[in-house]
Structure 1
Amino acid sequence: MNRRSFLAGSAAALGAVGLAGCATSGGMSLAEAERVYGPLPNERFPIPAVNISKINPKYLRRTVRYDSDEAVGTIIIDPRHYYVYRIEGGGYATRYGANVGRAGFLWSGDAYIGRKAEWPVWTPPKEMILRQPEAAPYAGGMPPGLNNPLGARTLYLYQNGVYTLYTIYSTIMPETIGKGISSGCIGLLTQDMVHLYNQTPVNTKVVVLPA
């Protein structure tokens, strides 16, 4: 089954609100990128190194100037520019390149991380199965693994105790970063997602900017 056709099975609905402002400060050398995006052999399902040649360097992880009144640790998603930010304080943020699915352009607003999962099961929504009947065999859930559209880590966004169906997930497909894809929410390279996931406790605030 083509993993691209299932990239980020979670879809979404709701919202309103925004924020702004950033400027880059330096980037990674090739040697740094090969280290940061190298293989993760100790994972439950070993993760291959990222093919750096398949991603625009501007989407590699970096620290940038970012003026915001949000607390340290807050995640800000900018789907229009294919970036995810983690506020670090002192006018700086860690910036990650992202891909954005159709659902990622439809919703904006304030939310929080209501749940986290390592190597989650993916269950395609009924609407997706109607559009793509080839997803029907996974109606009961696709087991974890490299071919699972949610990848190695997923952060689930909630509002008022209710899951919004909006997720930040991981992908091993560098060619999708900085692009719109057919379905799903917000995807980060697995190495970036592991980095963000490890610093993001449940109840972390998330701001999704209008697309």
Structure 2
Amino acid sequence: MQRRHFLAGTASLLATPQILRAAQGDSFELMEHLKPKEVRVKKKYGFQAGQLVVVLASYHLYHMMDERNAVRYGVAIGQEGLNFKGRATIERKVEWPSWRPTQEMIERNPAYEKYADGMKGGPTNPLGSRAMYLYQDGRDTLFRIHGTTAPQSIGTPSSNGCIRMVNEHIEYLYEQVPMGSEVIVFTGREA
């Protein structure tokens, strides 16, 4: 894909949520540092095109376009002690995913008990409109990169460990990221 097409596509993607919110009278807007933005990353990290890099400390996910350029998105991360760290691959992708809390989630928050048998995918489902499932050595880690029904949580440690994105952003990323893509999650401050 040519850089010009990528930038034009990204610009139209970034404009769409604002247009939709204006039409709906929704006053929510991400803080500037959490809005999608094309950025340069330090070459010393050795990232590769197609990788997703999540920096927990800054609440950002980087979709690497090549070893130096990425699109940076704001994300919500897990509450203290609940975050995934390390490397994984995306081995499952689902539109309008269903959700079922783990037993540990129910123990931490008994209100989740009513969803012990699961919640069908849809606009009120906490996984939002898309989910990409993280696997290690062929096993589901139970961590996801997914949308959210609470976009105001972006930029906060508010999830049960998953990486949340605004629905419009995960929908775009979902189309761009193929199965088998590598995800790197670390605690550092910058990429």
User: TM range, normalised to the smaller chain?
Assistant: 0.7 to 0.9
CA contact (8 A) 1:97 1:177 kept: yes
Aligned partner of 1:60: which letter? K
Partners of 1:189 and 1:50 in 2: how far apart?
17
TM-superposition CA deviations, 1:11-43 (whole Å, max 9, x none) = xxxxxxxxxxxxxxxxx99x9854344449xxx
Off by >3 Å, runs of 4+ in structure 1: 31-34, 36-40, 48-54, 103-106
1:188 lines up with 2:165 in the alignment: yes
Match of 1:58 among 25, 33, 36: 33
Q: CA RMSD in A?
A: 2.8
Q: Residues 193, 95 of structure 1: CA spacing in aligned structure 2 closer, same or farther, 3 A cutoff?
A: same
In proportion to residue count, which structure has more helix? 2
Contact (CA 8 Å) 2:99, 2:120: kept in 1 or not?
yes
Q: 1:63 corresponds to which letter in structure 2? A: E
CA distance in 2 between counterparts of 1:149 and 1:61 reads 21
Match of 2:70 among 68, 79, 93: 93
TM-score by length of 2: 0.81
The offset of 1:183, in angstroms, is 2.5
User: 1:178 corresponds to which letter in structure 2?
Assistant: G
Does 2:88 align with 1:107?
A: no
Q: State the identity as a percent.
A: 33
Specify whether residues 37 and 119 from structure 1 end up closer, same or farther in structure 2 by C-alpha distance, changes over 3 A only. farther
C-alpha separation in 2, matches of 1:174 and 1:39:
14
The 1:71–1:52 alpha-carbon spacing in structure 2 relative to 1, beyond 3 Å, is farther
Higher relative contact order (CA closer than 8 Å, sequence separation 6+) = 1
Count how many residue pairs are aligned between Structure 1 and Structure 2: 176
- When the two structures are superposed, what TM-score results if normalisation uses the length of structure 1? 0.74
How far is the alpha carbon of 1:117 from its aligned partner?
Answer: 0.7
Pairing partner for 2:102 from 125, 128, 136: 125
- Which residue, 173, 176, 179 being the options, matches 1:199? 176
Aligned equivalents of 2:25 and 2:59: distance in 1?
A: 18
